[in-house]
Each structure stands twice: as C-alpha cells, then as structure tokens.
Amino acid sequence: MAKQLNSYLHKVQYYETDQMGVVHHSNYIRWFEEARTELMDAIGFGYARMEEEGVIIPVLSVACEYKSMVKYGETVEIRPVIESFNGVRLTIRYEITDAKTGELRTTGESKHAFLNRAYRPVSLKKQHPEIYELLLDLMENGVKAEK
C-alpha cells in the first residue's frame, strides 16, 4: 500500500500580505498549524477528541525556510509529514508549494510533546495506546484514502 500524503490548501488572504507585497513570514507558522490540525482531524484525533482524552500537544519549536515568496491571489498546498514519533515526542515536516505550479515555497518543521491536563508529560504508548497507534500508523502509512 502506497503512502497517502495528506495535503491542505490555503488561499492567500489580503490581510496576510505585508508592504513588501508578499505574505508576511510569520503567517507560514500559522499555515503549518492549519495543516497540522487538518491532519489530526483526518486521522480521527482532532481537537475535540484530544480535549476529551485530556491530551495537550504544545509546540516545542518551529523552524521555517523561505525558498520563494508567496503572493496574494495564489493558493498554496501544505503537506505535513510525520518525521518522527516515539510516543513522547513528535516531529512534523512541512512542505509548502504553489498549488498551481508546484513550485516550492517553504519548508519547515515543528516539534511537539504530549502533556496531560496538569501539563505533565505523558507517554501515549502507556496512557493513550489508541492515539499512539493512530500516530504510529500515520507516520508509517500516511493518511489512508478511505478515511
């Protein structure tokens, strides 16, 4: 079974531009989040479920490399891919391309931990095995078509 990469489309908004006539660089960090939450939704581990289970996934770090500029009027495609996951830490890589031409715009990365409601680290494997399996499967097989 071939990997099925999740991909998320974002139409650039006017309020995202700056006076250089391109999207302000801080917005890509927000687009990463959009794609990430969409990905979590897609595997059945969206925010509502997360809240219900009492799992918080803070951002430990982000990094972003700007390859070419995105302009108003364009739509970008954001592909988040699980780069590593061990039940305690999660690293997601992002690739942003122009949705029409496929030209690479940005690459980036975010790192995450898993906390409980008391903001203490949790081991998903032990305490939330079902979520652990979902994320492991996502890393190994991507998002399934039938989802």
Q: Can you give the binding site for a copy of itself, defined by CB under 8 A?
A: 13-15, 17-22, 24-27, 29-30, 33-34, 37, 46-48, 56, 58-66, 69, 72-73
Q: In the bound complex, what is the minimum distance in angstroms from residue 3's beta carbon to a copy of itself?
A: 25
**Whole-number Å distance between alpha carbons of 47 and 38:** 10
Give the Cα separation of 116 and 11 in Å (integer). Answer: 34
Distance CA 65, CA 43 (A): 27
Q: How far is the CB of 26 from a copy of itself (least distance, A)?
A: 4
CB 105 within 8 A of CB 97: yes
Minimum distance of a copy of itself from residue 93's CB (angstroms): 14
* Spatial separation of the C-alpha atoms in residues 38 and 51, rounded to whole Å: 16
Q: Which is nearer to a copy of itself, 64 or 81 (CB)?
A: 64
Choose between 37 and 136: whose C-beta lies nearer to a copy of itself: 37
- The nearest distance, CB 5 to a copy of itself, in angstroms, is 20
Give whichever of 29 and 81 is closer to a copy of itself, judged by the CB atom: 29
Please say which residue, 56 or 134, places its beta carbon nearer to a copy of itself: 56
